[in-house]
Chains A and B, each alone.
Chain A
């Protein structure tokens, strides 16, 4: 069975829904390696985003890893780490 990875577009969609977008921030810019703090998301916003992802994909994220992920690239990696085995199963 083919697996579908969690992408930057998926993350942007999730962030918009879970936490909105701060004034003066362009999520469609080059943000993959920009720290979340710079684009207006603090730990609570990421917790909320993580919770949305868990519900949508039926997975459970590693809380500590979510807390350590300070850029979109790192966050996407955390999601895919859980998503791949879940989809393979």
Chain B
């Protein structure tokens, strides 16, 4: 029998709440975290809104030894990991070091750190560039620093597939657990709200250029016209179900199924890959469409992307065949951090019997979706499907379910 892989701990850093509890109460209350960029002056940029993580003071959480060598993204990831491990009741000091691994996703690495060192290079000279630039910018830096801080010497790596990466990392964690590692820290945090990171994001041409926070990111709305980027994400503690049971851990639920596809090359007249990713994930989990209680949609926020997703969901589940929600309307799109945050929301939905809302949108009637709007919906949630897409044609789908 294949090893069952469960989630036992959550650590959240989101624009509408720092820490799982703040995030979840904000999310159920429909409180969003989108506003004018404060981390730099966005006046002269075409896009000026972002979802920024509020109230994060790294010195309160991390030793000074880690500060000169870390970008904001890594500090957030390290602290989210501390919280997730605590939530899981797992102290790495008590576990064999080769039985613990770290597999995260990243879409950008440590951009702000890199920007600072580039500025040092051209304004002051090479001798002013930090030795820590050698790794602080790098995609794998969160995995590396989490591994070092917690003494985890099992499998480690990073998955880079933009917005789909968060699910792909959790899937890779599941593979490694099935190969015999008992605990893997996974999920993702991205954060690159700095001028250099901003121009890289602007280059996609997909950022919303509106200034009204409640009218800027509108997935499945007729006025959808791009997305608001954000920072943050979630770290998950995944474990071999047997190992979790043996140490008496509380279990949020199981990573039951996963599917990933790549879209056909642009200009080729073939169906996009999202529907197939959903079907592969459902088959992998061994669940029927009628068993799925909620879909956490990717929510591209542009008409073409929204249409593809609405069609994929209604093809598989039928018209208005399943509740669909996009809580990321409250955070903006967090790149690889977005899907792990949705996984966290899915597990909390199961725990509390409630589906979080999609805020700010007036759904376009062309899409035959049963969107959970404005208010949370009371519902027994035993099985949830989380969708995530990444620029470049990545489609990923993950089925999670209760183990109770």
B262 within 8 A of A: no
Which residues of B have CB within 8 Å of A44?
A: 69, 131-132, 134
List which B300-346 residues lie within 8 A (CB) of chain A.
none
Number of A-B pairs whose CB atoms are under 8 Å? 36
Which residues of A have CB within 8 Å of B131?
A: 44, 47-48, 51
List which A11-47 residues lie within 8 A (CB) of chain B.
16-23, 25, 40, 44, 47
Chain B 37-54: CB-based contact to A (< 8 A → 1; otherwise 0)? 000000000000000000
Contact in complex: B67, A20 (CB < 8 Å): yes
B365 within 8 A of A: no
Which residues of A have CB within 8 Å of B63?
A: 20-23
B66 within 8 A of A: yes
Contact in complex: B128, A19 (CB < 8 Å): no
Q: How many residues in B have their beta carbons less than 8 Å from beta carbons of A?
A: 13
A74 to chain B minimum Cβ distance, whole angstroms, is 19
Which residues of A have CB within 8 Å of B128?
A: 55
B65 to chain A minimum Cβ distance, whole angstroms, is 4
List which B175-228 residues lie within 8 A (CB) of chain A.
none
Chain A 36-79: CB-based contact to B (< 8 A → 1; otherwise 0)? 00001000100110010011000000000000000000000000
Q: With A51-B127, A55-B128 in contact, is A23–B65 under 8 Å at CB? A: yes
Which residues of B have CB within 8 Å of A19?
A: 65, 68-69
Main secondary structure, interface of A, reads helix
Q: Name the CB-closest residue of B to A15.
A: B65
CA distance A40 to B128 in the complex (A): 23
Which residues of A have CB within 8 Å of B68?
A: 17-20, 48
Contact in complex: B127, A55 (CB < 8 Å): yes
A12 to chain B minimum Cβ distance, whole angstroms, is 13
B120 to chain A minimum Cβ distance, whole angstroms, is 11
**Chain B residues close to A by CB (< 8 Å):** 63-69, 127-128, 130-132, 134
6 other contacts beyond A18-B68, A19-B65, A20-B66, with CB at 8 A cut-off? A16-B64, A20-B68, A21-B64, A21-B65, A48-B130, A48-B131
A-B contact pairs, 9 of them (CB 8 A): A17-B68, A19-B68, A20-B66, A22-B63, A23-B65, A40-B65, A44-B69, A44-B132, A54-B127
Q: List the 7 shortest-distance A-B pairs measured between CB atoms, nearest first.
A: A20-B64, A20-B65, A48-B131, A22-B65, A23-B63, A47-B131, A44-B131
